[in-house]
Copies of this chain bind each other. A is one copy, B any other.
């Protein structure tokens, strides 16, 4: 039951108004959706209210008013707590409504959650995204969707307000798995770039000249083209933070362990991100991985 009037837009709830959730909320409002929003901090709720969302003040009230409820939260325990724990939002959802979890969390928990939803007659999609805060602002996220294709099709207008590449990748949990594949490959490419640029400098070659000479060839990557120049400019502004990258790779390692998959490079990258967190660099962009290799090489001590 998307709404009483079949031609009208569903009422959308969104829980989590952080770096990603807030611009997503604004895009839904811009596209004409009636939006209920919640965030723990009052400041974020006030911002959403001023933009036109209704902010009843609790996750469960958002849930009970939503045809489609979106969660966009940092980690597995946050989603668990909001939906099943303190927030009790799942209990407040109406049968026939749809939960879309757009957080990046554990695929195993996602599958459990899908079973809980099925018992309550609630449809569910896991729909993690890539594209960073800029993609969230522009409404140009890539969305990897796990769950029933029919549920995805029904929710397409909502997802299209948020992203421009929406891919159905399999049953519940598959969206999370594909997101982790993305993170595994992304950090591997980041580590490769870090090692290559550090080696260039230490072996006496200008890293920028090296980057320009190779970026269009077989060593080319999105990371090298977009984050390489940031590294060379000593610009650590995050498209995606060290702290979140470290969290995502932890999820990847846990999921890989559960299916017995050795991840040698991703495991190494995870340890290096851990080192950056330990040095208080969690807010840097994820390309700051090179700093960890520089620590190891003796080129950096700050």
Contact = CB atoms under 8 A, between A and B. Distances in A.
Contacts of A185: 192-193, 195-196, 214, 219, 221, 224
A222 B222 contact: no
A185 B214 CA distance: 9
Interface string A198-209: 111011111001
A178 B255 contact: no
A265 B195 CA distance: 8
Counting every copy of the chain, the complex holds: 2
B169 A209 contact: yes
A192 B249 CA distance: 13
A65 B57 CA distance: 87
A213 interface: yes
Given A205-B177, A213-B178, A256 B199 contact: yes
A114 to B, nearest CB: 14
Interface stretch (A44-52, A116-124, A293-301): A293-301
A32 interface: no
Interface string A226-263: 10000000000001100000000000100110011111
Contacts of A203: 107, 177, 180, 255-256, 259, 261
A187 interface: yes
Interface on chain A toward B: helix, strand, loop, or mixed SS?
Answer: helix
A195 B131 contact: no
Contact of A169 (B182, B210, B264, B268): B210
Contact of A217 (B130, B180, B272): B130
Contacts of A218: 130, 132, 182, 186, 222-223, 226, 239-240
A170 interface: yes
Given A178-B213, A189-B219, A195 B200 contact: no
A299 to B, nearest CB: 9
- A185, A202, A240: most-surrounded residue (chain B CB, <10 A): A185
- A192, A197, A240, A266: most-surrounded residue (chain B CB, <10 A): A192
A220 interface: yes
A297 to B, nearest CB: 6
A71 interface: no
A156 interface: no
8 residue pairs, one from A and one from B, having the closest CB atoms? A188-B192, A221-B221, A185-B196, A185-B219, A167-B213, A220-B222, A202-B259, A186-B219
5 contacts: A142-B213, A181-B210, A184-B195, A188-B188, A191-B192
